[in-house]
A = this chain, B = another copy of it.
Amino acid sequence: MPNISQRGQTMPPSPIRKLVPFAEAAKKKGVTVYHLNIGQPDIETPQPVLDAVRHSTFKILDYSHSAGNESYRRKLISYYKKFDITVDHTEIIVTTGGSEAILFGFMACLDPGDEVIVPEPFYANYNGFATEANIAIVPVTSSIDTGFALPPIADFEKKITPKTKAILICNPNNPTGYLYSRAEMEVLKQICLKHNLFLFSDEAYREFCYDGENISALNLTGLDNHVVVFDTISKRYSACGARIGAVVTHNRTILDSVMKFAQARLSPPSFAQIAAEAAVDLPDNYFDGIKAEYQSRRDVLVSLLNKIPGVFCPNPGGAFYAMARLPIDDADKFCQWLLESFSYEEQTVMLSPATGFYATPGLGKQEVRLAYVINQESITKAMKTLEKALEIYPGRI
């Protein structure tokens, strides 16, 4: 029997999904599990988006253009314009989810052994794409004590080597909810210019900013050849299953290269591109209600968390995640214990241990990520349950 590859062996499993069997077992025992662990919104996908697919009349489900339907890419010009981003349709390559956008960006810009600096904690699947592309993620640690603000320039510069090719940020951030300020974006720009680095910017949560403006990396001037934005409609329109994202950049050399990766896999999904195109036509006020709902949930969640003795949760400025420090010995143990050994009035909560979001071993052991993708009543019950759990958790410190 031949051996699988080292890459196949070292590919990291999803740190979030490893708790799933424990959640399933809890449910089988009749326990209600509040899912604060994954970024799957409970908000309904807008009806016109689903209807566009359901009312379609084509006869052959054929390949689209490898860069995505031109009609969709042309429509996206007006979408980006709303954020003061000026791009033409040839500067957008539609991908199969934001996932593929990240992989194409890594592949086109970095060679095996190259390094990309990422503020930690970060979206855990970056590790997987890095393994696929055989590149190294070099973390720069941000701290819960500063609300996960951008680490100082000196911390970045300490990590820069001849192998460093890029900095990758997620803004607003998953998992911290942190929203980078204009000043912080300017700092990133200066580092990238000084050290000739690409700036990869994952902007999956662009619409969801509550306490300040969202500065896209594409809003930075004089950085056109450095910036590559990874985009996705997954969270924006509660359309995670569409698998439609995009690589957006002004850098023609990158576009030409990404196009070759796009051609190899032929095309992004056709049904979902119809949905994505319809989504661009949603009225401007579509996000008002959604944002208000997420903001109310955040306010309830953060306020209740900070009332629990020993808990600290900085107020996140965007996305729909919060990171909290808990008075516990080990987040992985605690999250498993919640599902396996605890219930309060037949309820428990599923959280993501923060350890999976840090690359530096040992960090995040007292932190968990909470996704506020359940309604406010459920959030309130979940926080009561968490409070009760912390009172009796054997590993409380």
A→B interface (CB under 8 Å): 1-2, 4-9, 11-14, 17, 40-45, 49-50, 53-56, 58-64, 66, 96-97, 99-100, 103, 107-112, 114, 125, 128-129, 132, 134, 165-166, 196-198, 225-226, 238-243, 251, 253-254, 257-261, 263-272, 275
Given the interface pairs A2-B165, A109-B8, A241-B267, the reply to whether A59 lies near B45 with Cβ below 8 Å is yes
Cβ contact within 8 Å between A109 and B264: no
Q: Which of B53, B110, B226, B266 contacts A1 (CB 8 A)?
A: B226
Which of chain B's residues has its CB closest to A99's CB?
B265
Cβ contact within 8 Å between A13 and B63: no
Q: How far is the CB of A67 from chain B (nearest CB, A)?
A: 11
A96 neighbours in B (Cβ, 8 Å): 96, 243, 265, 269
A2 neighbours in B (Cβ, 8 Å): 109, 165-166, 196-198, 225-226
Which of chain B's residues has its CB closest to A238's CB?
B60
Number of this chain's copies in the assembly equals 2
Cβ contact within 8 Å between A99 and B263: no
- 21 residue pairs of the A-B complex, CB under 8 angstroms, read A2-B197, A4-B109, A4-B254, A4-B257, A11-B260, A40-B63, A41-B60, A42-B60, A43-B60, A44-B60, A60-B238, A61-B242, A63-B241, A99-B265, A100-B265, A112-B134, A125-B263, A125-B266, A132-B261, A241-B271, A269-B271
CA distance A257 to B226 in the complex (A): 34
Cβ contact within 8 Å between B240 and A63: yes
Which of chain B's residues has its CB closest to A226's CB?
B2
A109 neighbours in B (Cβ, 8 Å): 2, 4-5, 8
Most buried by B among A8, A13, A260, A263: A8
CA distance A197 to B60 in the complex (A): 39
Q: How far is the CB of A267 from chain B (nearest CB, A)?
A: 7
A107 neighbours in B (Cβ, 8 Å): 5, 7-8, 11, 132
CA distance A396 to B149 in the complex (A): 69
Q: Which of B42, B97, B254 contacts A266 (CB 8 A)?
A: B97
Cβ contact within 8 Å between A111 and B6: yes
A269 neighbours in B (Cβ, 8 Å): 96, 241-243, 269, 271-272
A66 neighbours in B (Cβ, 8 Å): 14, 17
Cβ contact within 8 Å between B265 and A242: no
Cβ contact within 8 Å between A264 and B128: yes
